[in-house]
Amino acid sequence: MALEAQGLSFRYHKNQPWIIKDCNLNIQKGQRLAVFAPSGHGKTTLAMLLAGYLEPTKGQILLDGKPLPETGVCPVQLILQHPEKAVNPRWRLRRVLEESGRLSEELLYAFGIEGAWLDRFPRELSGGELQRFCVARALMSGADYLICDEITTMLDVITQAQIWHVVLEEVRKRDMGLIAVTHNHHLAERIATETLTLPTDFSGTLPPLHP
């Protein structure tokens, strides 16, 4: 049981520089990996590739030896950095959560999501409150792997701690694989079993930041 990237390379156009080149990565269920890189070095791109949001230019993503399924609920779920963009502004939050399946009261309670919030629109909640919904939505889909792209970067430390506490508990309980993209080394120390620092793992050269 593993999520693998083999010779993963990506660029937006063939005239443009590589954003990710020959990246190899392997994460087993139950492993927790922290990914570091300076800004603009393809952390989010890597996260999107691994979750199937982008198609790799070269190389492949394998889940247990097979490509990611194209239909149905994806077993690799990505949580994005900006929760307000990841929910439909015209949907009430109950509907946002129900998009990934049946509401889990237990999980809502663990995240401190109050019942009254469910009947509100996204505009009426703060970023931290919204991010809890996005994380809950990803967890409720029953995914085996969770990719967190700087999910708590914009939150205060208390909210960060709350959210990560619940995420780690769920990840342990369900024996999920976790990839956390972050700038924060202290956070990585607390949550990850191993770390990957993007530039050193490249076999090629880094693309110029502003070509």
Partner 1 sequence: MRSLNRRKKLLLLTVGMGVVFFGIYGLGILIPEEWVAGSFLSARQPPSLAHPFGTDALGRDLLLRTLKGLSVSTTVGLIASGVSAVIALLVGIAAATGSRWMDGAISWLIDLVMGVPHTILIILISFAMGRGLKGLLVGIAATHWCSLARLIRGEVLQLRSQQYVAVSRKLGKSSGWILIYHLLPHLLPQFFVGLVLMFPHAILHEAAISFLGFGLPPEQPAIGIILSESMGYLSAGLWWPAVLPGLTLVLLVLLVDNLGEQLQSLFDPSSAQE
Binding residues for partner 1 (CB under 8 A): 51-53, 71-74, 77-78, 80, 82, 85-91, 99-100, 123, 137, 141
Closest to partner 1 by CB, 25 or 78: 78
Question: How many CA within 13 A on the CB side of residue 28?
Answer: 4
Min separation Cβ 75 and partner 1, Å: 10
**Smallest distance from partner 1 to CB 44, Å:** 11
> What tokens does 7 get?
């010779």
- Give the 3-state secondary structure of residue 140: helix
Q: Which is nearer to partner 1, 58 or 92 (CB)?
A: 92
Work out how close the CB of 96 gets to partner 1 at its nearest, in angstroms, rounded to a whole number.
8
- The contacts of residue 196 (CB under 8 Å, 6+ apart) are 25, 33, 34, 35, 36
Q: What is the DSSP annotation of 6-47? A: EEEEE-SSTTS--SEEEEEEEEETT-EEEEE--TTSSHHHHH
- The nearest distance, CB 85 to partner 1, in angstroms, is 5
**Residue whose CB is less far from partner 1, 71 or 203:** 71
- Closest approach, Cβ 208 to partner 1, in A, equals 26
Q: Of 72 and 208, which CB lies nearer to partner 1 in the complex structure?
A: 72
Residue with smaller CB distance to partner 1, 33 or 140:
140
Q: 58: Cβ–Cβ under 8 A, 6 or more apart, which residues? A: 7, 8, 9, 10
* Cα(91)–Cα(96) distance, integer angstroms: 7
